[in-house]
């Protein structure tokens, strides 16, 4: 998860702002070359900022050295920082263990106190070591189920001590039982409606746990494709109350944390979705920024894929992610809807009008 990414999605102006901010999360993404001194540094180097005209950016230390620069002795960009080493060692230990690894053991492994390690790990990966291990177990169980293993086999193979532990850990997170992961919603009742909005026809579907599908220009056929074995029913009175909240969230996009969701993804996808929900209404982030915030700065393409895998448009606001150059980029339901959602958010939260001009 915690690996440097490539810098293809960052232009020089953005890199300069990162260097001025001394943002540690971009260490390893690129280096800053100061040609007036002949030195290259990490983006987070604490040294006084050079003049912009003396600075060039390089993807790797090797590129900077090929240009005749030498490594800064203060921030040592060619070495792995202690915090990075601690995070990498912790990730290796967590991935290699089926049983939970305590903070105390990780602290002994890395030479950090448990409290400090928790802080360093959470900042880098986007979740605590315990949450990361739980996410790994869920992902392993899902992969095993998708491969055709029985529920019991998948649960034990993923590292759970008993099936009851699996269900207890996931009861508030997943609306569907484990068998539904491979059985297309078998045994699950999904209520749905297709309704008109100012953005076009909208499909909304929900299990008893929360909304599992929100999309535009789709109908019940899409639900049957995604959940071929689920019991699909037209929404009842209780569903109508939920639908009214969703329509309001679409017509007046912004915060909708009160609307329950029933979604499932890999550990990284869910980390991306969590970060999407943290973007303030009316603001945007690049794919590179989301990848870094989700704990894998190198996974820019994977962040884009996770964005596209979002099954509940607007409620998980993937429309707030744009290209690195600030242009609006793609959207599953068309750039017009994306532009309108952003414009409404900006107007409601800052009073501005349209955001972009492609």
The catalytic residues are 41, 318
At residue 212, the 3 state secondary structure works out as strand
Token pair of 206 as six digits = 């929900």
Q: How far is it, in rounded angstroms, from Cα 150 to Cα 181?
A: 11
Q: How far is it, in rounded angstroms, from Cα 308 to Cα 290?
A: 13
Residue-level length of the chain: 358
Q: Are strands 321-322 and 285-286 parallel, antiparallel or unpaired?
A: parallel
Q: What is the DSSP string of 53-80?
A: GGEEEESSHHHHHHTT-EE-TTT-TTS-
Strands in 189-197's sheet, in edge-to-edge order, are 211-216, 200-206, 189-197, 231-234
Q: Are strands 189-197 and 200-206 parallel, antiparallel or unpaired?
A: antiparallel
Q: Are 7 and 59 in contact (CB under 8 A)?
A: yes
Q: How far is it, in rounded angstroms, from Cα 28 to Cα 80?
A: 9
Q: Which residues contact 226 (CB under 8 A, 6 or more apart)?
A: 184, 185, 213
CA distances from 278 to 25, 281, 317 (A): 17, 9, 9
Q: How far is it, in rounded angstroms, from Cα 252 to Cα 204?
A: 17
Buried b (16+ CB within 10 A) or exposed e, 296-316: bbbbbebbbebbebbbbbbbb
């Amino acid at each position: 998860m915690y690996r440097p990414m490539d810098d293809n999605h960052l232009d020089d102006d953005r890199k300069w702002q990162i260097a001025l901010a001394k943002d540690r999360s971009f260490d390893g993404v690129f280096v800053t070359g100061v040609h007036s001194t002949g030195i290259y540094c990490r983006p987070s180097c604490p040294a006084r900022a050079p003049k912009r005209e003396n600075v060039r950016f390089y993807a790797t230390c090797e590129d900077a050295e090929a240009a005749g620069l030498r490594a800064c002795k203060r921030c040592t960009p060619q070495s792995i920082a202690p915090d990075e080493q601690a995070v990498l060692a912790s990730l290796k230990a967590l991935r290699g263990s089926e049983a939970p690894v305590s903070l105390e053991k990780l602290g002994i492994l890395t030479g950090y106190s448990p409290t400090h390690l928790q802080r360093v790990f959470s900042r880098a990966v986007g979740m605590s070591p315990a949450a990361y291990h739980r996410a790994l177990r869920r992902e392993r169980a899902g992969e095993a189920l998708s491969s055709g293993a029985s529920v019991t086999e998948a649960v034990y193979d993923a590292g759970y001590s008993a099936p009851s532990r699996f269900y207890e850990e996931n009861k508030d997170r997943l609306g569907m039982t484990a068998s539904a992961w491979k059985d297309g919603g078998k045994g699950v009742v999904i209520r749905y409606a297709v309704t008109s909005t100012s953005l076009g026809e909208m499909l909304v579907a929900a299990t008893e746990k929360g909304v599992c599908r929100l999309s535009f220009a789709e109908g019940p056929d899409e639900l049957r494709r995604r959940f071929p074995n689920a019991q699909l029913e037209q929404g009842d009175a209780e569903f109508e109350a939920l639908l009214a909240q969703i329509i309001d969230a679409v017509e007046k996009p912004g915060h909708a944390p009160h609307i329950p969701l029933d979604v499932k993804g890999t550990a990284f996808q869910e980390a991306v979705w969590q970060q999407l929900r943290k973007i303030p209404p009316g603001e945007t982030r690049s794919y590179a920024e989301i990848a870094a915030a989700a704990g894998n700065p190198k996974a820019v393409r994977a962040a884009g894929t996770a964005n596209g895998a979002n099954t509940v448009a607007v409620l998980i606001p993937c429309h707030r992610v744009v290209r690195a150059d600030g242009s609006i980029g793609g959207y599953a339901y068309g750039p017009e809807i994306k532009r309108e959602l952003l414009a409404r958010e900006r107007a409601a939260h800052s009073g501005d009008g349209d955001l972009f001009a492609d």
